[in-house]
Amino acid sequence: MFPIRDDVPHYTTPWVNYFLIALNTLVFLFELTLGPHHLDAFLFSFGLVPANLTAGLHAGAYAAALLPVLTSMFIHAGWLHIIFNMWWLWIFGDNVEDWLGHFRYLIFYLLSGLGASLVHIMFNLGSKVPSVGASGAIAGVMGAYFVLFPSARVLTFIFVFFTWLPAWLILGYWFVLQFLSGAATSIAAGRQGSSGGIAVWAHVGGFLTGVAMIKLFPRRAPRYSSRAWQ
């Protein structure tokens, strides 16, 4: 199932969502200018490498160890990786930003990415493979949307046809798929969390972080009639 658009209007311009999409795109365009050797060095320096993080924390190099938790959210591994991530953020992020307000949405997004990284690290403590991508943070946005707009309709492409489906079904199906994939690969790899290069546990962690946090964040003060929020 691939979402095309939703039917929930937003009443403010989602400036932060636009900024996040632009920043991710600019970083990816910068990656394209790097040769293979420099790109590998870039990914290992700014991607999240669980083994490096745990070693850095043990050595007391806290800044160097923790910086990739933030920078890894803005790095992508290829065209399909960034296109799919930015598409899901474009569809679901504007309404969550509308509900939270601009600054709180940015904080929510970053905290969702942090939660996703922590869960990924838990299942990959010894991994020396860099994890990159905004999908953990975006999963948090999807978790918030799942809570706030479960009855929203999402135009969805399924195999060869388009249909409108409720958001709870689209996002719930996606989450269950991520969880089952993570569980299966953890069992197969002796609970190492390897998933063929896809950090599915980060997706699970981000989604659950978003679900847990959204009710803790105060809603922005409405600037229009209460009917618009219903």
Assign residue 199 the CATH number of its domain: 1.20.1540.10
Domain membership flag for residue 224: no
Integer Rg of the chain from CA? 18
64 confidence band (pLDDT: 50, 70, 90): confident
Whether residue 226 is contained in a domain is answered as no
Paired tokens of 163: 């249909």
The length of the chain in residues reads 230
Whether 152 is covered by a domain: the verdict is yes
Evaluate whether residue 183 is within a structural domain. yes
Least confident of 29-38, 96-105, 150-159, 220-229: 220-229
Q: Indicate the number of domains in the chain.
A: 1
Q: Which of 18-22, 113-117, 128-132, 209-213 has the lowest mean pLDDT?
A: 128-132
Whether residue 8 lies inside any domain: the answer is yes
pLDDT tens track for 161-200: 999 999 999 999 999 999 998 888 776 665 444 444 578 9
154 bridge partner residues: 6, 165
- Rounded to whole angstroms, the Cα distance separating 48 from 82 reads 17
* 229: in domain: no
Tell me the two tokens of residue 89. Answer: 């953020």
Q: What residue numbers bound the domain in which 101 lies?
A: 2-218
